[in-house]
Amino acid sequence: MIVAPGTPDGRLAAVAAGLAAAGVVVTLAPHAAHYLTMEVERRVALVSQDRLFAAAERLTGLARFEDPAFLDRLRLAQQSGGRTPGVVVNSVFTIAGGAVTILGFLGSLLVVSPWMAAAVLLSAVPALAVELRLSRGRAAMMWRIGPVERREIFFRGLLSDVRAAKELRLFGTAGFLRDRMARERRTANAEHRRMDRRVLGAQGGLGALSAVIAGAGLVWAVSAAADGRVSVGDVSLFVAAVAGVQAAMAGVVRDITMAHHELLMFGHYLAVVDGGPDLPVRAAARPAPALRQGIEFRDVWFRYSPDHPWVLRGVDFTVGHGRSVGLIGGNGAGKSTLVKLLCRMYDPERGAILWDGVDLRDLDPASLRDRIGAVFQDFMEYDLTAGENIGLGDVGVLESGDRAPLREAAERAGAHGMVAGLPRGYDTLLSRLFFDGGADAGDEPGVPLSGGQWQRLALARAYLRGRRDLLILDEPSSGLDAEAEYAVHTGLREHRRGRTSLLVSHRLGAVRDADLLVVLEGGRVAESGTHAELVAAGGVYARMFGLQARGYREDPAADGQAADEWTADGQAPDPAGSAR
Ligand SMILES: Nc1ncnc2c1ncn2[C@@H]1O[C@H](COP(=O)(O)OP(=O)(O)OP(=O)(O)O)[C@@H](O)[C@H]1O
């Protein structure tokens, strides 16, 4: 009987309930602590990820995203950002717990042998120094193998990318790429192995030091017991205390090192989040005003970096307000580069681009971009719904839920019929990679589009920004079929009428009626003028136009006449045929 006879049943029940509650608390506490830790980590990860990508979004231009070192840093920052705070906080708690344990054992040790206590404590100094050094070495190694791991990630992505799958199968290149992937992994593994060996060696040394100290202590304790200076009980206490202090100190050193390593890696996160602007930001940058006069390229020189050749070498021309300018030039002439400069993705190295006479560098980039609608040559295909693919041209419209502007833009881009024919119209998910999560979609896989269909959506996206001051179209119809191209160019002509636009195209028939044609060659404006003027001049444009015109002639015998026909009256046969 553990309860004295006569104890009231109520008290017994209360004691039992109290014990049960304590048992529940004791059982639940670690799980609750784990839950709280994980919840804190989830929240910290969410906030840190948001801050990281907000910082990336603040970068005005593109150069950082083309800088391999920045990309490595961004990847390491993603890994460390969400993890470091949790690891460090955990480490602080475990270090505190370890310190208490050390103090407890140290008390016992001090009673038996203060010298031994000092020796065991001091042995932590080299251990900490060595571990911190290893931690720095590990962080440096992670940075060193960044490019290797990024290449491996690239190959891994390639081997699982549906767009690459065609060529990999047709050319039988998957094995070759798999080897390259394995080679990168082997290189990374070699670095990891080297590091692990260093750690192994160092840990071995530290282990030996601990063993020597503990062994020397034991010898001393046994001989002291033999001399009767300490009792047998003291020897047991001594051995347990030495082992306890050493184990707890090893734990503390391990936790300090882990926190140290995480903080080193967190440096990458801070470098991205606190990184300065990539393009100079003028303190007094003003909002871009509505375009009234035009845009002037004034002696614009540009290269992607000092290690790259000049792409533009003193480009001069003006896009007058309300005028359409066609930009022409061979592959690599710098047309898309010029478009990117106009959107201030980069700054010219020399010269300036002026918006109504104001240098783009003096304008707030966001307000400048708000005045521009564009289709880039390498336009995006978003794994989102058709409506969202168009709506991303103007998030305000997208968020308003008003479908009419989306439809209008799609109609102008010749995309409405195609979108309306999709299983869920504008709500159809355009992807094979995701399931359509719509309430009544029954998790159907999304629908992929053809190249030309995607291009129409990209055009619709630009049209959604129709009220913008400047429309830039970089090869907007390269993937379209003949009818669609005709429709698009007819629509474009309408859309461009009286609006400021810059149209880049290799199809000279598509740009011939622009108010001004600018031909880029060798990084400079080789010639400019109207179609008739350039044809009459018989220069680069005339030659290019003649070549294309010949390609559209049915009768090869007439080739010889072609150039004469258009040079004579400046009204050449239409090279793009259907596009006219
Ligand atoms: N991000 C970049 N970094 C370094 N060089 C680049 C970059 N983008 C383009 N280039 C180089 O700049 C030159 C001009 O490229 P750009 O894309 O402007 O030519 P383009 O006239 O638009 O050609 P295309 O008619 O083939 O589209 C090319 O030699 C290209 O290699």
For 395, the domain range is: 384-465
Average the pLDDT over 88-104 and give the result.
87
pLDDT tens digits along 379-434: 999 999 999 999 999 999 999 989 999 999 999 888 999 999 999 999 999 987 77
Tokens 């700054």 belong to 347
Say if residue 445's pLDDT is above 80: no
Kindly give the distance from the C-alpha atom of residue 345 to the centroid of ligand 1, in angstroms, as a whole number.
14
- Whether residue 329 has its Cβ less than 6 Å from ligand 1: yes
Residue 282 lies in a domain: no
Nearest CA to 64 among 272, 267, 246? Answer: 272
Residue type, 474: D
pLDDT tens digits along 134-183: 999 999 999 999 999 999 999 999 999 988 999 999 999 999 999 999 99
Tell me: do 217 and 333 sit in the same domain: no
Average the pLDDT over 282-295 and give the result.
90
Tell me: do 508 and 459 sit in the same domain: no
Evaluate whether 278 touches 61 at the Cβ level (below 8 Å): yes
pLDDT score of 88: 85
pLDDT over 90 percentage in the chain: 47
Tell me: do 247 and 314 sit in the same domain: no
Tell me: do 46 and 175 sit in the same domain: yes
- Whether residue 304 has its Cβ less than 6 Å from ligand 1: yes
358 backbone dihedrals φ, ψ, rounded to 5°: -105, 130
Nearest CA to 48 among 264, 268, 279? Answer: 268
pLDDT band at 234 (very low <50, low <70, confident <90, very high): confident
Alpha-carbon gap, residue 193 to 392, rounded angstroms: 47
Residue 23 lies in a domain: no
Tell me: do 125 and 266 sit in the same domain: yes
Tell me: do 404 and 432 sit in the same domain: yes
Kindly give the distance from the C-alpha atom of residue 474 to the centroid of ligand 1, in angstroms, as a whole number.
13
Tell me: do 94 and 161 sit in the same domain: yes
Alpha-carbon gap, residue 316 to 296, rounded angstroms: 7
Q: ipTM beyond 0.90?
A: yes
Q: What single string gives the DSSP state of each residue in 343-402? A: TTSS--SEEEEEETTEEGGGB-HHHHHHTEEEE-TT----SSBHHHHHHTT-HHHHHHT-
pLDDT tens digits along 476-492: 777 677 777 777 777 77
Q: What is the domain count for the chain? A: 3
- Whether residue 490 has its Cβ less than 6 Å from ligand 1: no
Residue type, 279: L
Nearest CA to 218 among 120, 121, 123, 102? Answer: 120
pLDDT over 70 percentage in the chain: 91
pLDDT band at 284 (very low <50, low <70, confident <90, very high): confident
- Which token pair is 272? 């991205």
| CB-CB neighbours of 354 under 10 Å | 17
**3-class state of residue 48 by DSSP:** helix
Tell me: do 573 and 553 sit in the same domain: yes
pLDDT tens digits along 46-68: 899 999 999 999 999 999 999 99
Residue 2 lies in a domain: no
Residue 106 lies in a domain: yes
Alpha-carbon gap, residue 159 to 173, rounded angstroms: 10
Average the pLDDT over 348-365 and give the result.
95
Evaluate whether 478 touches 454 at the Cβ level (below 8 Å): no
Alpha-carbon gap, residue 181 to 159, rounded angstroms: 9
Q: Which H or E run contains 503?
A: strand 500-504
Q: Which atom of ligand 1 is nearest to the CA of 334?
A: 18
Residue 536 makes CB contacts below 8 A (sequence gap 6+) with: 542, 567, 570
Evaluate whether 453 touches 422 at the Cβ level (below 8 Å): no
Last residue of a domain, one of 465, 491, 519: 465
Residue 27 lies in a domain: no
pLDDT score of 574: 45
Say if residue 350's pLDDT is above 90: yes
Say if residue 539's pLDDT is above 70: yes
Kindly give the distance from the C-alpha atom of residue 325 to the centroid of ligand 1, in angstroms, as a whole number.
20
- Whether residue 400 has its Cβ less than 6 Å from ligand 1: no
143: left (phi over 0), alpha (psi -120 to 50) or beta: alpha
Ligand 1 pocket mutation pick from 335, 473, 544 by most atoms within 8 angstroms of CB: 335
Residue 248 makes CB contacts below 8 A (sequence gap 6+) with: 98, 101, 102, 105
- Whether residue 336 has its Cβ less than 6 Å from ligand 1: yes
- Whether residue 82 has its Cβ less than 6 Å from ligand 1: no
Residue type, 93: F
pLDDT score of 579: 35
**DSSP-assigned letter for residue 445:** B
pLDDT band at 567 (very low <50, low <70, confident <90, very high): very low
**At how many degrees (to 10) do helices 559-569 and 540-551 cross?**
130
Q: HSE on the CB side for 572, CA within 13 Å?
A: 36
pTM (predicted TM-score): 0.80
pLDDT score of 524: 95
Q: Which atom of ligand 1 is nearest to the CA of 337?
A: 18
First to last CA, the chain: 106
Say if residue 109's pLDDT is above 90: no
Last residue of a domain, one of 416, 449, 465: 465
Tell me: do 262 and 114 sit in the same domain: yes
CATH of the domain at 428: 3.40.50.300
Residue 482 lies in a domain: yes
Say if residue 555's pLDDT is above 80: no
Provide the mean pLDDT of the chain. 86
pLDDT score of 437: 56
pLDDT band at 226 (very low <50, low <70, confident <90, very high): confident
Say how many residues make up the chain: 580
- Which token pair is 9? 């049943």
Tell me: do 476 and 427 sit in the same domain: no
pLDDT tens digits along 300-344: 999 999 999 999 999 999 999 999 999 999 899 999 999 999 999
Say if residue 233's pLDDT is above 50: yes
Say if residue 569's pLDDT is above 70: no
Residue 264 lies in a domain: yes
Evaluate whether 325 touches 319 at the Cβ level (below 8 Å): yes
| CB-CB neighbours of 467 under 10 Å | 9
pLDDT score of 171: 93
Q: Which atom of ligand 1 is nearest to the CA of 377?
A: 27
Kindly give the distance from the C-alpha atom of residue 442 to the centroid of ligand 1, in angstroms, as a whole number.
44
pLDDT score of 570: 37
Q: Of 397-401, 471-475, 522-526, 576-580, where does mean pLDDT reach its minimum?
A: 576-580
pLDDT score of 577: 40
**3-class state of residue 499 by DSSP:** coil
Kindly give the distance from the C-alpha atom of residue 76 to the centroid of ligand 1, in angstroms, as a whole number.
29
Nearest CA to 304 among 353, 338, 351? Answer: 338
Burial of 175 (0-12, 13-18, 19+ CB in 10 A): exposed
Q: Of 6-10, 273-277, 533-537, where does mean pLDDT reach its minimum?
A: 6-10
Residue 218 lies in a domain: yes
Closest residue to atom 27 of ligand 1, CA basis? 331
pLDDT score of 359: 95
pLDDT score of 519: 95
Pairing of the two strands 372-375 and 294-302: unpaired
CATH of the domain at 263: 1.20.1560.10
Residue type, 232: V
Q: Which atom of ligand 1 is nearest to the CA of 475?
A: 27
Tell me: do 88 and 200 sit in the same domain: yes
Tell me: do 337 and 413 sit in the same domain: no
Q: Of 16-20, 416-420, 504-508, 552-556, where does mean pLDDT reach its minimum?
A: 552-556
What is the biggest distance separating any 2 CA atoms in the chain, rounded to whole angstroms?
126
